[in-house]
Chains A and B, each alone.
Chain A
Amino acid sequence: DVKVTQSSRYLVKRTGEKVFLECVQDMDHENMFWYRQDPGLGLRLIYFSYDVKMKEKGDIPEGYSVSREKKERFSLILESASTNQTSMYLCASSSQSTGRAFFGQGTRLTVV
């Protein structure tokens, strides 16, 4: 069974804080993704990575950065958290060969 694990289920941070969201997968998947999920807007891609140290901007990268130093780990960084970044954040990974993507359990981030 594929396991994609996010470091926190719930986080509360203050405006202006630097926030790190961590994601680890155990299936040797090449691709990893960060999405945010908001009611009525579906899943919007923030960043994705298809290899170590590689990253591509998604649809809404502003205010975020990412890091992929190891194949199994993909980190999302909010440089200076703002209240409009309050959301559910979902990490996913997929295999280049099958294309099938699997999600982490999500991190509900609240910025106050």
Chain B
Amino acid sequence: GENVEQHPSTLSVQEGDSAVIKCTYSDSASNYFPWYKQELGKRPQLIIDIRSNVGEKKDQRIAVTLNKTAKHFSLHITETQPEDSAVYFCAASSPGNQFYFGTGTSLTVIP
């Protein structure tokens, strides 16, 4: 089955700096890669996703890149703000299949 690894497990950045979280996956059949943000005590919220026919996607300060050959994808957050502090999860999925999640990255943005 699929195996998703996520790094780093914790990340601290100064406000205004960029943050990058990386994930790798093992199953070449995976073709959908979402990212979730989970604030303390809240449900995971979908923040951005990418499909395997696209190499990069951007939404304001958030971007995701995908390298199918190397089987890795990354979340980039620019101009970080304190409200970006949360746990971020990556996931991989193939059509009709379950989602395989990474173990999460706890991001702290220091004012």
Q: Which residues of A contact B (CB under 8 A)?
A: 31, 33, 35, 40-43, 45, 48, 50, 56, 58, 90, 92, 94, 96, 99-106
- Taking the closest CB of chain B, its distance from the CB of A58, in whole angstroms, is 6
- Taking the closest CB of chain A, its distance from the CB of B5, in whole angstroms, is 11
Identity of the chain A residue whose Cβ is nearest the Cβ of B9 in the assembled complex: A40
Cβ-defined contact, A42 with B99, below 8 A = no
Instruction: Tell me if A's interface is mostly helix, strand, loop or mixed.
Output: strand
Please tell me if B101 contacts chain A, counting CB pairs below 8 Å.
Answer: yes
Instruction: Tell me if B's interface is mostly helix, strand, loop or mixed.
Output: strand
Which of the residues A40, A41, A99, A104 comes within 8 Å of B43, measured between beta carbons? A104
Count of residues in B whose CB is under 8 Å from the partner chain: 21
Residues of A within 8 A of B32 (CB): 99
Cβ-defined contact, A33 with B99, below 8 A = yes
**Could you show 14 A-B contacts with beta carbons less than 8 Å apart?**
A31-B96, A40-B103, A42-B89, A43-B44, A45-B99, A45-B100, A56-B98, A90-B43, A96-B95, A99-B32, A100-B34, A101-B34, A101-B46, A103-B36
